[in-house]
Amino acid sequence: MLSWEQSSSVALMRQERAWVEVNLGAIAHNVQQIRSLLSAHTELMAVVKADAYGHGAITVAQIALQAGATWLGVATIPEGIELREAGIHAPVLVLGANHTPEQIRAIAHWNLQPTLCTPRQALIFAEVLTDLPQACPLAVHLKLDTGMSRLGTAWQEAAAFVQLVQHLPNLTIASVYSHLATAEDPDQTIARQQQQRFELAVTQIKACGINPPCLHLANSGGTLSNPTFHYDLVRVGLAIYGLYPSAHLSTTIALKTALQVKARVTQVKTIVAGTGVSYGHRYVADRERQIAVVAIGYADGIPRSLSNQMEALVRGQRVPQIGAVTMDQIMLDVSAVPDLREGEVVTLLGQDGNQSISADDWATTLDTISWEILCGFKHRLPRIAIDQTLSDSVSRRWDE
Ligand SMILES: *Cc1c(COP(=O)(O)O)cnc(C)c1O
């Protein structure tokens, strides 16, 4: 994998078979747009788990912090360590649950902030930290389950949980939080019920004389849909990358998609009527066709279930993908594109001329969500940081 500095050079980029372009200006723009929805006292956590949804965690974290985010969120300890090793000092919340002494020591060593989900986890943390020489106490975030039925202590038991942690040595409560199950749903009944439970739990916590310094509830959906979900901090992933959690929220702020996926044509050929294409011959030409082999496949993040159901952009035109998507390559029907040459660039996700294909388009075809599509691009493809100007000039160069 190339470093950002190396790979952003156009010369090296021309050797890549396929790559992801990440528009850093779009990330900064999205962070600023999201910030514009928040009151002055509400902080923004950029959620950069899963390698920033395929966009590259270190770079996204740096850009988001420059643009106004003050917290980072990750799912796992290694994801947090990656940020620290890159010299990022902002507070990092680990959203997943961790229990083992090794995990707890790593959290303390790397100055990460854990989520505690049960009284038992809190007791283990306090005990393991007793044996550590370094500065205590550790800032911890207490998770309540208000209706997601995933991590967290039941909201009815919040006060006892928070009281227990309050009295444990080596731990200090940095926040109390919960997670919405249906925030992007136009019908807010369930989200509001979760909010009521959250507020009731907080009232009971305060009745015990404990005032949590920070409360948070909202993901992207909650942040875009309802300012009363914002509290002291919002945890935003998807919207930072320029996608809307739901179509009905797309009028709130103007987001820009940051990720584009491109690959090169590696062979162009003519097939006669009756010729089958790719594994299983799931496409058979009805007449003579020009086809292009493109160097990207399911190991790169193109879902195989899109076989025969997706399009690509070639010289600003939409062309159909044909036959099964294979591990490293796909075929396109380029009969409508005269004299296509090897080495030309195809856009799988992104914009070319006035045509565009988004992760939402794929998600709709596959009956899944754009989050899953983006996370498919965290493995093999090199990532190239661009600003829009460079991208335009690079695609022009290859289209000429
Ligand atoms: C992933 C995650 C988020 C971010 O969700 P988006 O919908 O991408 O904004 C926020 N909070 C928690 C607990 C998460 O796991």
Burial 171-206 (b: 16+ CB within 10 A, else e): bebbbbbbbbbbbbbeebeebeebbebbbebbebbe
142, 162 in Cβ contact below 8 A? yes
Atom index in ligand 1 nearest the CA of residue 45 equals 10
Per-residue pLDDT, averaged over 60-81, amounts to 98
Kindly state whether residues 78 and 193 are assigned to the same domain.
yes
Which of 95, 217, 370 best tests ligand 1's pocket when mutated (most atoms within 8 Å of CB)? 95
Kindly state whether residue 22 falls inside one of the protein's structural domains: no
* CA distance linking residue 139 with residue 170, whole number of Å: 9
pLDDT at 135: 63
Q: What is the CATH number of the domain that holds 341?
A: 2.40.37.10
Kindly state whether residues 242 and 108 are assigned to the same domain.
yes
Kindly state whether residues 244 and 323 are assigned to the same domain.
no
* CA distance linking residue 71 with residue 89, whole number of Å: 10
DSSP H/E element including 103:
helix 101-109
Which of 31, 51, 219 best tests ligand 1's pocket when mutated (most atoms within 8 Å of CB)? 219
pLDDT at 6: 44
Which of 34, 37, 47, 48 best tests ligand 1's pocket when mutated (most atoms within 8 Å of CB)? 47
Please indicate whether residue 219, judged by its CB atom, sits closer than 6 Å to ligand 1.
yes
User: How many CA atoms lie within 13 Å of 395's alpha carbon, on the beta-carbon side?
Assistant: 22
Kindly state whether residue 8 falls inside one of the protein's structural domains: no
Kindly state whether residue 2 falls inside one of the protein's structural domains: no
Kindly state whether residues 241 and 273 are assigned to the same domain.
no
For 179-207, write each residue's pLDDT tens digit.
Answer: 999 999 999 999 999 999 999 999 999 99
CA 60–ligand 1 middle distance (angstroms): 16
CA-angle at 181, arms to 61 and 164, nearest 5°: 80
Kindly state whether residue 4 falls inside one of the protein's structural domains: no
Domain boundary among 224, 249, 274: 249
Kindly state whether residues 359 and 391 are assigned to the same domain.
yes
Kindly state whether residue 95 falls inside one of the protein's structural domains: yes
Kindly state whether residue 20 falls inside one of the protein's structural domains: no
46 CB neighbour count, 10 Å cutoff: 28
Q: What is the CATH number of the domain that holds 198?
A: 3.20.20.10
Kindly state whether residue 86 falls inside one of the protein's structural domains: yes
| Atom 6, ligand 1: residue with shortest CA distance | 237
If one counts the domains in the chain, the total is: 2
Q: Is the pTM of this model over 0.85?
A: yes
Least confident interval from 2-16, 37-51, 323-337: 2-16
- Residues marked active site are found at 49, 279
Q: Which tokens is 155 given?
A: 């909201």
Please indicate whether residue 220, judged by its CB atom, sits closer than 6 Å to ligand 1.
yes
* CA distance linking residue 231 with residue 39, whole number of Å: 9
As a whole number of angstroms, the longest Cα–Cα distance in the chain is 79
Report whether pLDDT(161) > 70. Answer: yes
Per-residue pLDDT, averaged over 172-182, amounts to 98
CA 69–ligand 1 middle distance (angstroms): 15
Whether the ω angle into residue 91 lies within 30 degrees of 0, i.e. cis, is: no
Kindly state whether residues 300 and 224 are assigned to the same domain.
no
CA 234–ligand 1 middle distance (angstroms): 9
Kindly state whether residues 279 and 329 are assigned to the same domain.
yes
Please indicate whether residue 235, judged by its CB atom, sits closer than 6 Å to ligand 1.
yes
Beta strands (DSSP E) in 33-87 are: 43-47, 71-74
Kindly state whether residues 67 and 211 are assigned to the same domain.
yes
pLDDT at 400: 32
- Phi, psi for 287 (deg, rounded to 5): -155, 180
Please indicate whether residue 47, judged by its CB atom, sits closer than 6 Å to ligand 1.
yes
Mean pLDDT taken over the chain: 93
Kindly state whether residues 245 and 268 are assigned to the same domain.
no
Kindly state whether residues 124 and 177 are assigned to the same domain.
yes
Domain boundary among 219, 249, 279: 249
Per-residue pLDDT, averaged over 1-22, amounts to 64
Please indicate whether residue 30, judged by its CB atom, sits closer than 6 Å to ligand 1.
no
Report whether pLDDT(277) > 70. Answer: yes
Task: Report the candidate in 258, 373, 375, 372 with the shortest Cα–Cα distance to residue 22.
Answer: 258
* CA distance linking residue 331 with residue 226, whole number of Å: 44
Residue 380 to residues 19, 31, 38, 296, 328: CA-CA distances in angstroms? Answer: 9, 27, 36, 10, 10
Task: Give the domain range for residue 347.
Answer: 259-399
Domain boundary among 231, 249, 267: 249
Kindly state whether residue 14 falls inside one of the protein's structural domains: no
For 315-340, write each residue's pLDDT tens digit.
Answer: 999 999 999 999 999 999 999 999 99
CA 165–ligand 1 middle distance (angstroms): 24
Kindly state whether residues 245 and 375 are assigned to the same domain.
no
pLDDT at 399: 36
Kindly state whether residues 49 and 85 are assigned to the same domain.
yes
